[in-house]
Amino acid sequence: MTRATDWTARKRAGGVYCSSACGNGCKRSAYDLAKSRSALLAKRLNKHCPGQAPWKPRVWEDLGWFYEAVSAGGRVTVHPPHFLNDTYWVSVLRPDQFISISKKPEVAVRSALAEARRHVEDLMAQLSLEGH
Ligand SMILES: [Zn+2]
């Protein structure tokens, strides 16, 4: 019998807020910080990228608490500067993946979407040539 991995975070002694699947001893304060930062990021994107609104905050645990903002359709995600110094990075999955980085999340979104648009235009041009 296979048991599903339990990713439900639970409050434990010493300010720990962690799931049994993670087991890292993550702190409640880190969860609260990720929650508030994800809400701020989504709010910022909703203000500066109104064409793509509403962005929603998302928090998850995987040997620590992480966060992102997710587009309404769920295919565009904006990630904070965890690994890339002070730059945000954006992932677009449609149907290929596009990634862009910037110190401003709204700039990273615009750049990723412009690259996706160029890709679609190239694809349309190729299809047009193949149609003749
Ligand atoms: Zn944990």
| CA angle, residues 23, 80, 93, in degrees to nearest 5 | 95
37 C-alpha to center of ligand 1: Å? 18
Residue 132 confidence (pLDDT): 47
How do residues 30-80 score in pLDDT, each as one tens digit?
A: 999 999 999 999 999 999 887 767 999 999 999 999 999 998 878 788 998
- Structure tokens given for 16: 């720990």
33 C-alpha to center of ligand 1: Å? 14
5 C-alpha to center of ligand 1: Å? 13
Mean pLDDT of the chain: 85
Neighbours of 36 (CB within 10 A): 13
pTM as predicted = 0.75
Check residues 112 and 33 and name the one with the higher pLDDT. Answer: 33
The DSSP 8-state label assigned to residue 2 in this structure reads: P
Check residues 95 and 21 and name the one with the higher pLDDT. Answer: 21
52 C-alpha to center of ligand 1: Å? 32
Determine contact, residues 39/51, Cβ cutoff 8 Å.
no
